[in-house]
Amino acid sequence: MNVLVAMSGGVDSSAAAALLLDQGHEVTGVTLRLWGGTSDSGCCSVGDVEDARQVAAELGVDHHVFNMTDEFEARVVEPYVSAHVRGWTPNPCIECNRHLKFSALLGAADRLGFDRMATGHHARIVASDGGPQLLRGVDQAKDQSYVLSMLTPTQLDRLLLPVGELTKSEVRTLASDRGLRTATKAESQDTCFVSSTIGRRGFLAERTTLRPGVLVERSSGDVVGDVAEVELVTVGQRKGLGLDSEGRRRVAVAVDPVAGTVVVASPEESQIDEVRFDQSSVTSTGAPLLPGEATLVQLRSHGRAMPAVFDEGRVSLLEPTDPVAPGQTVAFYDASTADLVRGSAVVAP
Amino acid sequence: MAAALGGGAPNPSGAHRPARAAAAALDVARHAIAGSLGVEARSVVLTGGGTESCALALLGPRRPSAVCVSAVEHVAVRRSAEAAALRRSVPLIELPVDRDGMLDLDASLALVPDGALVSVMAANNETGVVQPVVELARRLRTDRSVVLHCDAIAAAPTRSLAELSDVVDLLSVAAHKVGGPPGVGVLVVAGDLDLEPLVPGGSQERGLRAGTQDVAGAAGLAAALAAVDEERGDGRVEALARRRDALGDLLEQVEGVAITAGGVDRLAGHLHLTLPGVRSEEVLMLLDRAGVAASAGAACASGAPQASRVLVAMGMDDRRARSAVRLTLGVDTSQEAWDRLGDVMVEVLGSLAG
């Protein structure tokens, strides 16, 4: 097949391109230029584009660079800022996957006559009678199915995820055996457009006014402390609230930058047994979850999946857990086939 | 070039026989370059390429009252102009262009103060639009004193620069654009214009460009300029413009395609077009797969096309600007290659426009 491989300049997508070549596909590499500003991490820097170009040259495949900085700004960066302004905690990787990699780029792959698009994500797509299924990667520790949980059957149909069958160490061995320069490259971390020199605080301060506020005890309504920037607090946060001495530990359970409040509760009181979401944000990788259907939910990229019951606009958790911030993604997995991704939703306040 | 190297690369500033031979070869090359550009040999300052020539032209003048550059200059001029304005603590003034990217003469004349350093390119590298530099020089000099630089890098392959070099104080040319070696350039410096060199060092090139001269590079530039002189002389450039126009007419038949600045004087080999709604990158990828090397006109450090500043300065909206494709064609392209190019372009543009 004629495959367009999205190459980020990291080892996983390098290995994906190599694997597809070995499988006899015709491979073309493409790297997205996403971020016009300065960045030193993730898949946004000029250095990463250069790495992708070099790997493509080492593999002997064509390589192109697509500029999607405008789309990235509109679909990922601006929503990232406005979510913080509302006291939400966005997941920019998922929004980038949703709107850029698996929408704009996949559309381009179609127009350009490619049979499939591939990425280096650690997850698997397998065929079934009911259509393609999205499964966790073989390497459970590196599994990235959470950030792909918003994919639809139409998208899965046109995708290849070749490294999902490998462990991370197998990926590195493969890259190293091929002499690819990314074989030992460190993994990208954090938010790719936020450089470590300015951090999240500095980045947001450039684009919005960060406001001070107070910490309010949920049970009593008492003001129990203050906070320099309400927008930087995340629901579920324990550290950095000035309330971590023994016996006074508190967890942020609600963040309201407009009111200038962060509501806190004791770790025990803060536990939740339900996650609400806007039903319109629900996506399905195949057959949609039905109200009353048992499922497994994962609330963080590398969190544990927990048993729950799906319902319209909410899931009930069978065991209490730490609170999850609005704007985060809840990924649904199948109750009986634990590796099978069923869909996603965006957590509501 | 091989002959100029003389079996080695002796320093033309030396006092021995090989050095004298190198100095003589350099002198021959310098005179030939000067002849092609219509200037005196002593005006020819050899540099390490077009970007360096532009940098010396913009950063060299010691006391400009302002730095004025057109809105469509190449980044080599633009960045040096910004640096010069900062270094000399003088304003940077942008001279506007019309919707074809042609310098707005009246508006520009109203903006340029006495004593300014003015830089306007001979022709735009992206659109090929030829700028009215001779007219600008004439009108500027009627009532004010200016130092006028002209970036003639894009124009050099197809235009005679003699008339330009007569009226400007500084003129930049790059060897690789005329088929010579990369890493070699010329800044024509008229008369006794006092410039501050970019790099401290020896007194080579009238003290304006320190460092051992690249004799072979100079010989390569001289030969390349002679070759383009010949192409202009025997009608090949006119033939190129006719073929370019015919290709433009063909491509305009694809729904939505617009030839940029099609109604004004452009460099013979330049064909620039837009197709709103289609992305440059996608056109370029399909062309590349069909064996056609084109560009979008501007590239950032990572090689990804962005909406060109030149097109934005022309008032083009972002959607159209993001669809830009620039073809630069040479006189030696065979008729078969032209026909194939037309077929491929029509197919690619048609498939993406659909």
Residue A135: inside a domain: no
By the 8 A CB rule, do B198 and B49 touch?
Answer: no
Fold: same for B2-231 and B235-353: no
Note whether A108 contacts B284, CB cutoff 8 Å. no
- pLDDT classification of A260: cutoffs 50, 70, 90: very high
Residue A31 and residue A85 in one domain: yes
* A33 touches B at CB < 8 Å: yes
The yes-or-no answer on residue B68 being catalytic is no
Residue A173: inside a domain: yes
Per-residue model confidence (pLDDT) at position B161:
95
CATH assignment of the domain containing A242: 2.30.30
Tokens for A175?
């890259």
Nearest residue of chain B to residue A114 (CA atoms): B286
Averaged over B227-241, what is the pLDDT? 92
The strand pair at B185-189 and B44-47 is best described as: antiparallel
Residue A104 and residue A226 in one domain: no
Domain B2-231 has CATH 3.30.70.420: no
Q: What SS3 class is residue B123?
A: strand
**Interface predicted TM-score (ipTM):** 0.78
Per-residue model confidence (pLDDT) at position B301:
44
- pLDDT classification of B302: cutoffs 50, 70, 90: very low
CA atoms lying within 13 Å on the CB side of residue A43 = 26
Pairwise CA distance, residues A97 & A6, whole Å: 11
* A111 touches B at CB < 8 Å: yes
* Nearest CB to A108 within list B282, B300, B303: B282
Mean pLDDT of chain A: 92
Averaged over A167-193, what is the pLDDT? 88
Q: How far is B317 from chain A (nearest CA, A)?
A: 14
Computed on alpha carbons and rounded to an integer, the radius of gyration of chain A in Å comes to: 21
Residue A169 and residue A76 in one domain: yes
* A319 touches B at CB < 8 Å: no
Q: How far is A122 from chain B (nearest CA, A)?
A: 26
CATH assignment of the domain containing A297: 2.40.30.10
Note whether A33 contacts B285, CB cutoff 8 Å. no
Residue A77 and residue A10 in one domain: yes
Domain spans of chain B, in order of start = 2-231, 235-353
Per-residue model confidence (pLDDT) at position A170:
96
Residue A43 pLDDT > 70, yes or no?
no
Mean pLDDT of chain B: 92
Q: How far is A70 from chain B (nearest CA, A)?
A: 9
Q: Which range scores top for mean pLDDT: A43-57, A197-211, B104-118?
A: B104-118
Residue B303 pLDDT > 80, yes or no?
no
Note whether B302 contacts A70, CB cutoff 8 Å. no
Q: pLDDT above 90 covers what percent of chain A?
A: 81
Residue A278: inside a domain: yes
Residue A338: inside a domain: yes
Residue A302 and residue A289 in one domain: yes
User: Residues near A50 by Cβ (< 8 Å), separated by ≥ 6?
Assistant: A9, B302
Cα A174 to Cα A18, A140, A166: the distances in Å are: 8, 19, 10
Residue A315: inside a domain: yes
Residue B299 pLDDT > 60, yes or no?
no
Residue A303 and residue A229 in one domain: no
Sequence-ordered alpha helix ranges (H) in chain B: 2-5, 17-37, 50-59, 75-88, 105-111, 133-143, 162-167, 215-233, 236-252, 280-289, 309-313, 318-321, 335-353
Q: Which residues of A touch B286 (CB under 8 A)?
A: 112-113
Tell me which of B71 and B308 has the higher pLDDT: B71
Residue A62 pLDDT > 90, yes or no?
yes
Q: pLDDT above 70 covers what percent of chain B?
A: 96
- pLDDT classification of B286: cutoffs 50, 70, 90: very high
Per-residue model confidence (pLDDT) at position A309:
98
Residue B351 pLDDT > 60, yes or no?
yes
Computed on alpha carbons and rounded to an integer, the radius of gyration of chain B in Å comes to: 21
The tens digit of pLDDT for each residue in A154-170 reads 999 999 999 999 999 99
CB pairs under 8 A between A and B: 46
Tokens for B156?
């050099």
Note whether A64 contacts B352, CB cutoff 8 Å. no
**C-alpha closest to that of B353 among B263, B264, B282, B248:** B282
Averaged over B286-299, what is the pLDDT? 79
Note whether A70 contacts B300, CB cutoff 8 Å. no
Nearest residue of chain B to residue A70 (CA atoms): B306
Nearest residue of chain A to residue B284 (CA atoms): A64
Averaged over B122-138, what is the pLDDT? 97
Residue A265 and residue A312 in one domain: no
Q: Which residue has the tokens 């033309």?
A: B12
The strand pair at A261-265 and A213-217 is best described as: parallel
The domain of A328 spans: 272-346
Note whether B303 contacts A70, CB cutoff 8 Å. no
- pLDDT classification of A46: cutoffs 50, 70, 90: low
Averaged over B235-263, what is the pLDDT? 94
The tens digit of pLDDT for each residue in A13-42 reads 999 999 999 999 999 999 998 887 654 444
Q: How far is A168 from chain B (nearest CA, A)?
A: 28
Per-residue model confidence (pLDDT) at position B304:
58
Residue A166 and residue A32 in one domain: yes
- Choice among B54, B68, B150, B300 that is catalytic: B300
Q: pLDDT above 90 covers what percent of chain B?
A: 80
Per-residue model confidence (pLDDT) at position A188:
75
Note whether B303 contacts A65, CB cutoff 8 Å. yes
Q: Which residues of A touch B352 (CB under 8 A)?
A: 111
* A268 touches B at CB < 8 Å: no
Written out in words, the top-level CATH class of the domain with range B235-353 is alpha beta
Number of domains in chain A: 3
Of B196-210, B252-266, B325-339, least confident by mean pLDDT is B325-339
Residue A20 and residue A64 in one domain: yes
Q: How far is B308 from chain A (nearest CA, A)?
A: 12
Of A42-46, A118-122, A200-204, B110-114, least confident by mean pLDDT is A42-46
Residue A231 and residue A104 in one domain: no
DSSP A29-76: EEEEE--SS---STT-SHHHHHHHHHHHHHHT-EEEEEE-HHHHIIII
Amino acid letter, A66: F
Residue A170 and residue A294 in one domain: no
Note whether A64 contacts B286, CB cutoff 8 Å. no
Residue A55 and residue A89 in one domain: yes
